[in-house]
A and B are shown apart, each in its own frame.
Chain A
């Protein structure tokens, strides 16, 4: 296998992880990854061996996702009932699981641009410069999205726990 294919396969699991976080749906996520890989494989001539292959691949996927979302309308991507059902039926004793689902709900409340930046930093451990390259905006924009997004998440999750206490 040549180095181009090796690089693509190397980053495929990372693409899958980010796609899952973006779409929240395994099938939809893998479709997105497949579209991304197909496009990347057909653009071998644009691949720069010395460049940042991860950022290149993530940019491709990011653009496809942005187009898909735009086509479907400006709202957030819908999540099938099946996937969200667990949220209601899972025993309350599974604290960490509950916390995670709260986090999911909070992420849903964020504007897509803030959510993407937060996910790329948290999941990929990308530097802010790499995120800027991937998303196609200035580094300062990445920073302000990160800052506003995280603060909003924090407030949303604080409110969530307050609400929970009130219910009890």
Chain B
């Protein structure tokens, strides 16, 4: 019985070297190696190969990660590059810049963040321009189904989405919709209307900048927008109304979404 040669599969030899074999078969491989010098030489050689490869390169994983390879740093660069990519869009923003739309208030320096918020603002203003003029289909889900709307959008964005209460400013919820944002992420879009028929829209998108920003205001083709970023989200309030009431709307929206509230 003990003289009978043990048959093992080629792959079992490798799996044994790599520590991937269960105990039963590992015993079989060891017995086979004991009785076969050629097999033993191969097993030793393969194990040596593994060890040498680990000796040569293993240390790399213990080195501190260079700054340029840190995910948060890549994200902030990424948003900038993504923004700079389409030439047409750059031209639009150049026009905005020349028109004096940007107020260089408390924004000192961080270009990547400025560009990121420009990007969110552009999407919000586009959505506003497309949907605010709609008479029959301004929204996908009307305010009479507000609970459903909130639940649906929260689920799709994976975040707690709420409908800000703007009644104190004379704005009533019309409804909301789901929008595709850049990069295939879903965004939520709410529309409000006052008695005069003026509309403001609230745009909330998944936008991982990893940082927070203050409010920033801009105007683009007659539409004003306040925009700010949270680490994982971008917010923008757009409307064809003067800056002061738009700011009041933005403050309520900000308070509605602030995590501590």
Contact = CB atoms under 8 A, between A and B. Distances in A.
B140 interface: no
Contacts of B58: 17, 123
Main secondary structure of the interface of A (DSSP, over half): helix
A22 to B, nearest CB: 10
B49 A153 contact: yes
A127 B20 contact: yes
A1 to B, nearest CB: 7
Contacts of A14: 61
Interface in A101-128: 103-104, 107, 118-119, 121-123, 125, 127-128
Contacts of A8: 71
Contacts of A162: none
Nearest to B15: A128
Contacts of A44: 183, 185, 208
Contacts of A16: 60-61, 63, 65, 69
B257 interface: no
Interface string B17-57: 01110000000000000000000001001100110111111
A100 B52 CA distance: 6
Contact of B63 (A13, A127, A143): A13
Contacts of A59: none
Nearest to B46: A150
Most chain A Cβ neighbours within 10 Å, of B15, B57, B75 = B57
B10 A147 contact: yes
A30 B69 contact: yes
Interface residues of B, number: 40
Given A16-B61, A21-B57, A154-B45, A103 B66 contact: no
Contacts of B42: 151, 154
A13 B65 contact: yes
A20 B20 contact: no
Given A12-B71, A45-B184, A154-B42, A121 B18 contact: yes
A20 B60 contact: yes
Nearest to A16: B60
Contacts of B19: 125
Contacts of A96: 55
Interface of B: 10-11, 14-15, 18-20, 42, 45-46, 49-50, 52-58, 60-63, 65-66, 68-72, 74-75, 78, 82, 183-185, 208, 210, 232
In the A-B complex, list the 9 residue pairs whose CB atoms are closest, starting with the nearest: A122-B53, A17-B61, A13-B61, A17-B60, A154-B45, A122-B50, A21-B57, A103-B52, A8-B71
Interface of A: 1-2, 5, 8-9, 12-14, 16-18, 20-21, 29-30, 33-34, 37-38, 41-42, 44-45, 96, 99-100, 103-104, 107, 118-119, 121-123, 125, 127-128, 143, 146-147, 150-151, 153-154, 157
